Structure formats: structure tokens, C-alpha cells
Structure 1
Amino acid sequence: MPQPASRSRIAIGDTTITYLPDGFGVQDPDVLFTGVDWTTRPGYLEDGQLILSFGSFLIRAGDQRILVDLAVGKIDVEVHGTARLKGGSLLRNLAGEGLSADDIDTVVYTHLHLDHVGWTSDVAPLPNAPAADSPTGLTFAHARHLMSEDEWRYWPTRTATMGGPDAEAVLEPLDGVVEFVETGDSIAPGVTVEATPGHTPGHLAVVVRDPSGAGTESVCIVGDILHSAAQVGDPALVFSFDVDPDQARAVRDRMLRRPDTVIAAGHFTDDVFGRVTSTGGTYTWTPVHSIGE
């Protein structure tokens, strides 16, 4: 049965991408995917609940140490009887890689939903509630913090009750620090960003290639383009919190058709790295544990 993903690593040339777990969500599938008959999709639920992994991706590219997304943070909460969210393991798993928060020089946000920003400061606000304490600073104080400008401009007009970032724990610590990137911008050798709006207006994917040019394969960290492997077999499955479902579907379709691409899907259970193949018009997800496998 599906379980939260554990720490895993793949390499592309001399660059490594490591999934660092932070926690998981046990959630009502009817809230996240409205109107889906899960009895026709066996194997995706555990005791009738949908499990989502929460974590970050550590990219070691040359002498740079990059984190893509900052997971859910140190929380353990029941949300109105529809979900349990638990986090807090990110820094421990980072230490397992021989690194501390001070060793990270770049943070890239795919977007600013609460389960991707939880370690921005030393306070992780609970869903639908303001931060209980005032933050004292950024967790990764020596790092650049990057996102798209569209994402940054979108959220101050919304509230955390929509699943977005808490103002005091996330937006205020980033104000004056955040830097903006756009499609094609390079953040390290072989590492670029790509605009993938739909889930949120400023959603980004992060693409990793072998900077030596020795191979054609790439790894794409997809953020919330995909939440469950069920969306690989049926890309029409709409995630309830997509801001623009049609745009999100178009981006998802484009991602699933990408050639020579390993997808890094941080919310998937069991295995977050995999390839998508098409047979007779049906997409299939196959986990991978190394490039070239």
C-alpha cells in the first residue's frame, strides 16, 4: 500500500538530486480530487485516504547546494476532520547528507502554498491559522531565495486560509530578500527554471541537465503539476486547489509528453523519481533509482 516517500537520490552527470522528506499528509481524497471514483483506481488510497509526501529536493551542482521548496515545516495537526498534516524532518534529513542550513546557498520555490514554504522562517504556521509565534529569521539565512515575480505578486492579495503563505512567517521574512527568476534563467550549472502556471499563477518547474552535455536526459522537478501518480494514468484528474484548472491540465499534458525526462514529483508516495511512457495513448509511471536505468 502507498507510503510516504523516503530519502532517495539520483545523479545526472556529476550533479545529484536528493529527495529529503519532511513529513506527509493523510487527506480526504474527495476534498483534493472532487467527484473521482477511486474504486476504479485501486492502489492509490490507504484505508480510504490519499497520502501525500512532503519534502524538498537537494541539488548539488558543482559547488552549489540548492533546495527546491521548503516543505511543510514542524507541524502536526488535524484539519477539520479532513486531513492530518505532519512535518518536521527536513533539517534532520539534510544533516543526513552532511549539510546544515548554513550550507544551503540557494532556495527555489516552485510556488508558495503552505506545504512548500514551511521552513522559510523558524515558524511554521498551521493551516487556516496565523503563526502562533513571531519568526526571528530565515531558516536558510545564507541562501538566495528565488521564485517567479507572478507568484510573489499574487499572494499578498490572498489569505493563508486559501492554502497560501502566512504573511508573518513567510512573506514578511522574504520581503526585501526575494529575487525573481523566469523561464530559461540558470541558477547553477545545468539547472534552469521554467514557467508552468496553472496550479498557481507563478508556478515554476526546475530542470536539471548534465552541464557537460554528455547526455540528453534531464530531470524535471515538477512541484504541484502532479500530486498523485493517478494523474499520470488519467491527466484529466483535476486537483481542487488549481487556480486555473484548464491551464494546469495543459501544463500537465505537456509535462507527461516530454521526451528523455525523469520526473521528480515530491508529493508522490513510495518513489518520487520516475519516467512516463505512453502505450496506446495511456501513460504509465515507472519509478527509477538511477539515470540510465
Structure 2
Amino acid sequence: MSEIKLGDVTVARVEEMHGPIMPAATFFPSIPAEAWHESALGPDHLVDGMVHAAMQTWVLRSEGRTILIDTGVGNDKSRPAVEAWDHLELDYLGNLARAGVHPDDVDLVINTHLHVDHIGWNTRLVDGEWVPTFPNATYLMPRIDVTFWDPANHDGLVGSVNENAFADSVAPVRAAGQVELWEGSHTIDANLRLEAAPGHTPGSSVLKLHSGGDRALFAGDLIHTPLQLTELGHSSCFCEDPVTAAATRRELLGWAAENDALVLPAHLSGHGALEIRNDGEAFAITQWAPFDRL
């Protein structure tokens, strides 16, 4: 199954790529080595000490609109800090088409935050110029992250994973007049609401779904591995403010557990989304969503 229904909202999962990202000890330097159990996390999330993850887009159809949540790494882009992402040639648009989505059909693009692996397909290369991939869409971006990642306001981007990302994946969409900035919270429609979730980046956000009797949390980079359900206080090496990220994680996962909400992070491989329950001071997986395994 590649598509589910939550209340009146249809949710599909579109993959860009998946596989090993980096060693567990590098990705999560504060998680004790003995906490990583391949018998529990493999083969979807941990293999030979390497964390596995997916780059993917959640496609929502709500109140007659087609909405994309995050747009992966992108093709043709110069990513000197991450060799595996440098000048990619992937069939992401073909995967979107197989999910019934043509770029012209997209009404709204949500970038939960502006890390390189969430904004890449905002644009594509046409005749040597970066142009918006989704010409009819409004791109919702957190104002705080736009300010934070703008090279004019940020020292030290050279050599970072976000080197070049603002110039090729954000600035062209702004120049086209397609960006809407928001902060605090932002209501999209009767089913969907964006909320600030700071820590991973200053402007990180999540999308909450309330439709009929269903609830869901499109969690962005709230977690990168299921191990963070039990190791709540440990953030990834890419979190700008690890302490705030941990507090945000605990709060929002608590909301999901209390409301029986499906949690749909940006990067989990395998079935990609899960239901959780309170388990003492942490959380446990109740069940995985019925999406096909990556």
C-alpha cells in the first residue's frame, strides 16, 4: 500500500531514495553504543552500525488541493559536503507521476524546515537556470528558517551540508514570488495546521492533521530513528539546539501518544510511519502504518 486515508485526507508516500546515511555513533554522538540493537532496528533502520533512512515526500490531498510535505535532496545540485547527494540523477518526478502527481498539479509545498534534504526539489535545472519545480504552487516556509539560512545572515555555511542550498533551492522560488512565510502557527485548511517545533533548526515545524476521528503528526525531523522514542534526550548531530530539540520531541510525541495520532517523520525507512503509546518516561511503538516497506 502506498496510500492511506486519514479522515477526509488522502496521504501517499513518494520516495526519492533510501539506504545507509552514516554511522550511528556519528549521527547520534550522545546515544550510548550499547543502545543500538540491530536485532530491534534492522534491517530497516540500522545495518552494520549504519543508520538507514529515506528521503521522501508525503503527498496530501485535502479539500481539493494537492500538498507536498518536504521535497528531498534534488537533482543536479552541488553538494560538496555530502558526496552521496552531489549532482544526483534520480527519478523523483517519475515517482511523483506514478503517485498521480504532475508538477503543474501541486497547489502547496510545505518545507518543514530548510535543511538541504527537505528543499531540493523545490527547484530544478532548466537551460542552466534554477526554476521552481512546481510552477503553480505556493511554497510555505518558516520565516525564522529563511532568515537563519540566508547566507547574508549566516556565517560558516561553506563546508556545511547546507552549502549552496539556499541559493539553488530557496532564492529562485522567492524570486518567482511563490513563497509565503509564516511563524508561530499557520492554518492551511479545516484539516491541517502547521506549528512551530524549534530545536532541530530555529524554524523547524510540524504539521498536525485533525480530520474526522483521525489525528496525525507529520513530524519533519523530530526523530531520525525509532531509537529516539526511548532515547528521547538524544538529538542528531544536525540539530542546531539539541536541548530544545529534545524538549520539543518529548512534547510533540506526547501529543501524538495521547491523541492516538499516526506519526509520519520525514526520514524513517521501512514502513515510514507509526503509532506510539506512552511507556513510562518514554514511548513504545504500537504498530507501523500499512505503507509498503522501502
Q: What is the TM-score of this pair, normalised by structure 1? A: 0.84
After superposition, the C-alpha distances for 1:53-86 in whole angstroms (9 at most, x for unaligned) are: 1011101002100001111113699977x87447
The answer to whether the aligner puts 1:21 opposite 2:15 as a matched pair is yes
3-state SS of paired residue (2:95): helix
Instruction: Give the counterpart of 2:96 among 65, 90, 94.
Output: 94
The answer to whether the aligner puts 1:278 opposite 2:252 as a matched pair is no
TM superposition shift of 1:160: 5.7
The answer to whether the aligner puts 1:247 opposite 2:244 as a matched pair is yes
Residues 152 and 25 of structure 1, relative CA distance in 2, 3 Å threshold: farther
After superposition, the C-alpha distances for 1:215-265 in whole angstroms (9 at most, x for unaligned) are: 2x3111111111111101211222111111111001000112112211101
- Structure 1 runs not aligned, ≥5 long: 1-6, 125-132
2: CA distance, partners of 1:173 / 1:161: 22
Instruction: Give the counterpart of 2:116 among 114, 117, 124.
Output: 114
3-state SS of paired residue (1:151): helix
3-state SS of paired residue (1:256): helix
- Structure 2 runs not aligned, ≥5 long: none
2: CA distance, partners of 1:168 / 1:279: 44
Instruction: Give the counterpart of 1:222 among 219, 224, 235.
Output: 219
Residues 168 and 39 of structure 1, relative CA distance in 2, 3 Å threshold: same
Say whether the 8 Å CA contact 1:182–1:193 is kept in structure 2: no
Residues 166 and 123 of structure 1, relative CA distance in 2, 3 Å threshold: farther
Say whether the 8 Å CA contact 1:105–1:143 is kept in structure 2: yes
Give the stretch that moved more between structures: 40-49 or 281-290.
281-290
Say whether the 8 Å CA contact 1:194–1:204 is kept in structure 2: yes
3-state SS of paired residue (1:11): strand
Letter in 2 for 1:195: A
Regions of 4+ moved over 4 Å? 75-80
Report sequence identity in percent.
25
2: CA distance, partners of 1:35 / 1:228: 14
1: CA distance, partners of 2:170 / 2:283: 38
2: CA distance, partners of 1:199 / 1:91: 28
The answer to whether the aligner puts 1:170 opposite 2:169 as a matched pair is yes
Instruction: Give the counterpart of 1:144 among 138, 143, 167.
Output: 138
Say whether the 8 Å CA contact 1:28–1:83 is kept in structure 2: no
Letter in 1 for 2:235: V
How many correspondences in the alignment?
Answer: 271
Residues 264 and 137 of structure 1, relative CA distance in 2, 3 Å threshold: same
